[in-house]
Amino acid sequence: MKNRTVVVCIAFGCIIVGLSLALYFFSNKPQRPPPPKLDQGARIIVFKNVHYSGEKKGTVDWEIKAEIARKFIDTPDVEMEVIKGQYKPKPDVTVFFNGSRGKMNTEEEKGNIDDVDIIYKDNYRLKTKSMDFDFKKSLAWTNAPVDIEGSKLSLKGVGMTANTSEQTVRIERDVSGFIETGKGQYRFSSDKFFYMMKENLYILDGKVIMRGENMNLLCDRLNIFSEGNEVEKAEATGKVRLLSKGTIAKSEKAVYDFKEDKVVMSGSPIVLKDKTEMEGESIVYNLSKGTFFVNRPKMRVER
């Protein structure tokens, strides 16, 4: 009986000790830190070597590849680095472009790219610091300076809007460059520049100056027509002034035929040379010979 009492006391003591130890360890157990709050600005997933594309009428019309992309979880926005892409305004035309970084809304298919390098038909290359785009509206634009190099035409300017559905390019101001013809190179400057791809027509608008080896032409507007890669003619309108070898010709319109190397002036044309003024129905200037021909002339000599 005595031994049973001792065993019960020992067991009871062990229970008391166990409960005491459990209470001690439970009260001193290290607390688990609460989960960190997710910063709304950090809700981003980072990907490598990503590929985005869009379709129009079941055909892929644009693609963008980036070495690094940061995708915002709660929005369709993505930030990209080291960008390569292509855009197809028409099934048989592909425009390639590169950029250092950019941002895009994948649902609206619009965004912007920095340090842009665009190649069009292997004929033209455009570079600018930054460009916005909207693939759904077929638009690309920038307020930054642009530099365009082509096989026949090269120019610089500030601000550009390209509409690939209408196939037009507009440079907003401070335009300068040169054009290659079968008769040599002509440098030009103007307030604005407009290119109509369908018509293969270049338009210089506002304070236009075109300089060649034997001729300087000034006017308000100059339309340059080409066929393929060959420049055919230039049509000047508005306060036309032609200067060549000491002779000045004035008119409201002049057409320069590059193949025949001659300028036909109309609209009250006048030729001034050595204090002699001659008017006519039209004036033809032959650049290769350096001669003027006045149709039905009326002469006046300054005394």
Domain boundaries, the chain: 42-119, 151-303
Give residue 270's pLDDT: 92
User: Where is average pLDDT lowest: 17-21, 184-188, 207-211?
Assistant: 17-21
**Do residues 188 and 205 make contact, with C-beta atoms less than 8 angstroms apart?**
no
Whether the per-residue pLDDT at 224 is higher than 90: the answer is yes
DSSP state of 287: T
Whether the per-residue pLDDT at 21 is higher than 50: the answer is no
Instruction: Write the burial class of residue 112 (CB in 10 Å: 0-12 exposed, 13-18 middle, 19+ buried).
Output: middle
CA atoms within a 13 Å half-sphere pointing along the CA-CB vector of 146:
30
Give CATH superfamily name and number for 151-303.
Lipopolysaccharide (LPS) transport protein A like domain (2.60.450.10)
Cα distances from 56 to residues 78, 87, 134, in angstroms, run 21, 12, 14
Give residue 28's pLDDT: 46
User: In this structure, is the dihedral angle defined by the CA atoms of residues 211, 181, 227 and 127, taken in order, positive or negative?
Assistant: negative
Give residue 4's pLDDT: 43
Give residue 24's pLDDT: 43
